[in-house]
Amino acid sequence: MSLRRTVKVVGLGALALTLSVEWLDWLRRRLRWWRRGRQGPLKEVLFFPTAITCVEHLYTPDPRINSPCPCPCPLPHGLETSFTRLLRHLLSAAASLDLCVFAFSSQELGRAVLLLQGRGVAVRVLTDRDYMRITGSQIGALRSAGICVRHEMGAVHMHHKFAVVDGRRLITGSLNWTLTAIQSNKENILVTEEPDLVLPFIGEFQQLWDANDPARHYPRATPPSDTLALPRETAPSV
């Protein structure tokens, strides 16, 4: 075989190899996209306790700023943890947030809810009558900001821990919204957009919201003071 023919064959072989690699890479990317599509709606599981990190960058109103902030605090920066994931899901709310939670004393989660309120997100909160008054409860701050809060008016505890974001994303699990639960307890959170799971929680929230409307319980009089109570009692951390 002449040198010229050899060079031509080698060149064609190299071209074929290059095209094959590119085709395989295209096929791999298409398969990855197809598999993601077949996985269906969002499903994510988070476990606690979580590492303590700086989360200041998550509160920025500028969505273009997605890197850790140059905050001077001594906490680690730029780490993705179960808590940062929880905050991201919560702060993704664009239209509405329905929150049904037993104990709510985490300042960071309270800050996130207040931020959503400031952005114009419609926020409704259902909580427990006894635990809304524990020392450190965020319920008073939420009410002061104009967020509509209702509590369980029956004889049982309102022990739910779930949130529905924009009517389509469910955040639920064992986690109370407290610093102790986030940093010290073995807890879990499930985040999903599976309609068959989200819709029952929407129905449960609305049923509880309507059932605990003060106007239904005190139609002709001012509600008792405990329905508007600010945090003043002490209870064990949960």
Q: Which residues are catalytic?
A: 159, 161, 166
Residue of 211, 209, 216, 231 lying closest to 123 (CA atoms) = 209
Question: How far apart are the C-alpha atoms of 42 and 36, rounded to whole Å?
Answer: 10
234 residue type, one letter: T
> How many whole angstroms separate alpha carbon 190 and alpha carbon 200?
15
As beta bridge partners, residue 189 has 46, 173
β-bridge pairing 161-165 and 169-173: antiparallel
**Residue 178: which of 228, 145, 136, 140 has the closest Cα?**
136
| Terminal-to-terminal C-alpha distance of the chain | 82
Taking the C-alpha atoms of residue 152 and residue 129, their distance in angstroms, rounded to an integer, is 6
